[in-house]
Amino acid sequence: MRLSFTWCLILMALFGAVFASEARAEAGADNSSVNSPVGRWKTVDDVTGEVKSVVTITLENGKLYGRVQKLVNPDPKDPSPTCEDCPGDQKGKPVVGLQILQDLQKDGDAWTGGTILDPKNGKIYKCLLSLEAGGTKLKVRGFIGLSLLGRTQYWIRE
């Protein structure tokens, strides 16, 4: 009897430790951990080097999604632009609030398998995300087919 009780306690302690570490990992991801892209990011144009917008990246069911939260220095002639060239139900929607990242899954030190939408031209590209500089920079690679055929932006954690 005493032996069974002891084994019960040991098993409860082991399972409790496993579930607690998973809960801490999920909580860390939701709190903009430096090991996770979750949080707010300033997008930086890869050609001009200018900050263009702020994107919030969230984790839902193990996948990353990103939505434009605000535009930085929008064109005074068009302060609330819409995505006229976007496909499907995103066509004509305001850029602010637009979901531009979707379905990215953790793959080692990177996030892959999802897509990124370019609101300027409405095109959707495969996407690869990876953290750099201790989690303060996000390497965002959009590409068609092979990762070699694409372009990279570096976003800054807000």
The pLDDT assigned to 147 comes to 80
How far CA 66 is from CA of 56, 58, 76, 110, 130, in Å, comes to: 5, 6, 25, 16, 14
The pLDDT assigned to 15 comes to 38
pTM over 0.85? The answer is no
- Coil, helix or strand at residue 110: strand
Tens digit of each residue's pLDDT, the chain (158 residues): 444 443 333 433 433 433 333 333 333 344 456 789 999 999 998 889 999 999 999 999 999 999 999 999 999 999 999 999 999 999 999 999 999 999 999 999 999 999 999 999 999 999 999 999 999 999 999 999 878 889 999 999 99
Place of tokens 């579930």: 19
The pLDDT assigned to 127 comes to 97
- Coil, helix or strand at residue 158: coil
Burial class (CB in 10 A: 0-12, 13-18, 19+), 137: middle
Whether the CB-CB separation of 141 and 123 falls below 8 Å is answered with: no
Cβ-proximal residues to 154 (8 Å cutoff; 6+ apart), any chain:
44, 46, 132, 137, 138, 139, 140
How far apart (Å, rounded) are the C-alpha atoms in residues 128 and 148?
Answer: 11
